[in-house]
A and B are shown apart, each in its own frame.
Chain A
Amino acid sequence: MKGPIASGAILLVGVFVFIKYLLPLVTAPLPASLIYLYMTLAFSGIMLYGTMSASSLESLMGPVFRFLSGEGQSGTGKMARLAVLVLFPLLVGWQTYTSLAPSDLPPGENRTIHPAPPGEFVGLANPYQNNEANINMGKGLYAAYCSPCHGANYDGKGPAAKGFNPPPANFADPGTIAQLQESYLFWRIKKGGVGLPVEAMPWKSAMPRWEVELPDEFIWKIIMGEYDGAHQSPRTWEEDD
C-alpha cells in the first residue's frame, strides 16, 4: 500500500536536493520562486504518472481517498481527518488575508544582475600584458577608486558599502567576476550603473561611470589587479564554446 506514495515522496525529495543543493555547486543558486515552480512541475508529473492506469491510481490515491472520505474510520484516523478538514479552509483564509493585507514589503523587483553587454564591448581583449608591474598599478588604482565600495579585500565590504542597495559586488564571491569575461568588466567599469539596460535597473546602482574620470588604460589594469587581488580568473572564450 505504502509503495507508490513512498517512492513518489523519495523522488520529490531527490529533485529538491538536486536543484537546491547540487545545482548551485555548478551554477548560481536558483531563486525560491523558481525552485517552487520546478517542484510543482515535478509533483504534477509524478501525479500524472501515478494515476495513469486504474491499478496505479488505486495504489497511489486509494489511501488518500479513503482517508478523506472517512469511511470506516475511528480513533486517531478520525481525528486526523477532522483536523485536515478544519485546517484546510483556515489555511485558505489565512492565505487570503496575508495576500490582501497592506504590507510593508514593496512589490518585489527582479533585477537582472548580469545583463548582456552592448555589442561593441563583446570580445574585447585586454591590450595590456599580464605582468607584475601592470597588476600592481591596477591594485593601486583599485585601492584609490574602488575600495571605498568594493572593499580593500575585494569582498564588497568597503566603508561606503552599507548605504547602497543593491550592494557593491563582492569580487571574491565565485558568482561575480569569475563568471565574467574581461570585456564584460571593461563595459561595466567604463559605463557604470547608469550604463545598464532597463532590466538591470540602472537608477538603483551606485556603481560610478568611470569613463568620465579614468582613461581606458587604467580600467584595463584595474581589471588585472581586481582578478589577482580577488584570487579569481576571468572567464575566457574557450570555456564558452
Chain B
Amino acid sequence: MLNKLRFLSTIILVGISGILGSTVGFASDPPPADEVGASVSIRMYQVEGILPADDPNSPQWASVPESEFNLAPQVHWPERIQEVTVKTVKVKGLHDGQNLAILLEYEDPTDDVKDAAAIEFMVGDKKAHFAHGQPMLQVEGGPVNIWFWKKENGKALDMSAKGFKTLSTQEKQDVSATGAWADGSWKVVFTRALKTEDEEDVQIEPGDWRSVAFAFWDGALVSGVPKEKGSQKAVSSWWSIRAEPSADNSIYGWVIFGLALAAAFELVVVRKLRKGQSA
C-alpha cells in the first residue's frame, strides 16, 4: 500500500510538473536579445491555384508573411569589402506542391545594369560551408547550389560550387527569375520545381528543413566600375527554409486522444484515492 502510494504520488507530481514546464516553456531558452525581431527561418506557404512565379508585383504576394534577415559586407575572405548597399532582405515563399516561388525584396537606391542577387542552398545530406561550400578541415563538406539572378540579362543561372573559384554553371538549367525595380527597391522572384532530376540541385521535400543563404551586389558604377562585384557583395550565413507540408488533420485526432488520456488518468487516480481513503 505504502509503495503504491509513493509511486502514485511521484508519478502525479513529476508528470504534472513535466507537462507544465514544457507548456510554459521553462525547458527552452529564449532567443538571445539581439536576435529578437530578426527571423531564423522562411516558411514557403502552400497555395491552391496559381503561383505568382514570374510576377514580383502580383497582389498575391501582399498577404504572404515575410521573414527578414540582416546582411553583412563580405569580410570573410579576400577580396573583402567594408561597406555595402543592401543591409537587409525580406523574403517570402510560396509553393503549390509542384513548384516553388521565392520573393526577395531589398532596398537599393538605383536600378543598375550590374545589379544582382543570389540564393544559396546546401545540397543533399552533407553539410556545406555557407561561403561557397569551401572545404572544412575536419568535416567532409558537400556542394552548394546557387541561383544567380542578374539584372543585365534578366535571367537566373543555376550554378554549383564546392569551394572558392569552383563556381560553375550547371549543364541542366532549372531555375528562372524575374526582377522589378521601383522606388528604390528591388523585388526579385525565383522559381523552380520543388524537385528536379539533377543531383547537383537542392531538392525541396515539403516538411523538411533546408539551409539557405543570400548574396546581393549593387552594380552602381563608381568611376566606371561596379561598386560591388565578385566576392565584394552583401552576404548572409545559413538560415533555414522549408516548404509547408500539406495540412495534416491527424493532429486534431492526437489532441483529442491526449485530452481523453489525461481525463482517464484523472478518473483512475481519483477513484483509487477515494478507495484508499475509505479503506
Binding site for B on A (CB under 8 A): 31-33, 35-36, 39-40, 43-44, 47-48, 51, 54, 57, 60-61, 64-66, 68-71, 85, 88-98, 100-102, 104-108, 148-149, 159-165, 167, 191, 193-198, 201-204, 206, 208, 213
Chain B residues whose C-beta falls within 8 Å of the C-beta of A206 in the assembled complex: 72, 76, 130-131, 237
Instruction: Name B17's contact: one of A33, A40, A90, A191 (CB within 8 Å).
Output: A40
| Residues from 8 to 41 in B contacting A, C-beta threshold 8 Å | 9-10, 12-14, 16-23, 26-29, 34-35, 40-41
Interface size class of B (residues with CB under 8 A): 35 or more
Distance from A117 Cβ to chain B, minimum over Cβ atoms (Å)? 12
**Least distance between B69 CB and chain A CB atoms (Å):** 8
Chain A hits for B266, CB < 8 A: 85, 88-89
Give the docked Cα–Cα distance between A91 and B258 (Å): 9
Chain A contacts of B78 at CB under 8 A?
213
Write the chain A residue with the least CB distance to B27.
A36
Q: Are A92 and B72 in contact (CB under 8 A)?
A: no
Are B71's CB and A163's CB within 8 A? Answer: yes
**Are A69 and B22 CB-contacts (below 8 A) given A93-B258, A208-B76?**
no
Q: A91 contacts which chain B residues (CB < 8 A)?
A: 19-20, 23, 262
Report the minimum CB–CB distance from B58 to chain A (whole Å): 23
Flag whether B60 is at the interface (Cβ < 8 A): no
Partner of B14, one of A40, A93, A107, A194: A40
Task: Determine whether B236 belongs to the interface, using a CB cutoff of 8 Å to chain A.
Answer: yes
Say whether A106 contacts B28, CB under 8 Å: no
10 chain-A/chain-B pairs, Cβ below 8 angstroms = A33-B29, A40-B14, A57-B9, A102-B207, A106-B209, A106-B240, A159-B72, A160-B72, A198-B138, A202-B137
Contact B28 A69, beta carbon cutoff 8 Å = no
B57 within 8 A of A: no
Provide the bound-state CA to CA distance between A184 and B129, in Å.
22
Closest to B263 in A: A89
The smallest beta-carbon distance between B230 and chain A, in angstroms, is 17
Q: Which among A32, A61, A194, A198 is the interface contact of B9 at CB below 8 angstroms?
A: A61
Q: Which of B54-75 contact A (CB under 8 A)?
A: 69-73, 75
Residue B244 CB within 8 A of the other chain: yes
- Which stretch (B154-162, B182-190, B193-201, B270-278) binds chain A? B270-278
> Complex formed: what's the CA distance from A4 to B243 in Å?
53
List residues of B whose CB falls within 8 A of some A CB.
Answer: 2, 5-6, 9-10, 12-14, 16-23, 26-29, 34-35, 40-41, 43, 69-73, 75-78, 80, 82-83, 122, 127-131, 134-139, 141, 207, 209, 234-240, 242, 244-245, 251, 254-263, 266, 269-270, 273-274, 276-277
Question: Within 8 Å CB of B273, what residues of A?
Answer: 65, 68-69
Chain B residue at minimum C-beta to C-beta distance from A85: B266
| Complex CA distance for A160 and B236, rounded to whole angstroms | 10
CB distance from B42 to the nearest CB of A (A): 8
The answer to whether A92 and B10 have CB atoms under 8 Å apart is: no
Residues in B with CB closer than 8 Å to A104 are 40-41, 43
On whether A159 and B83 interact (CB within 8 A), knowing A100-B254, A203-B127, the answer reads yes
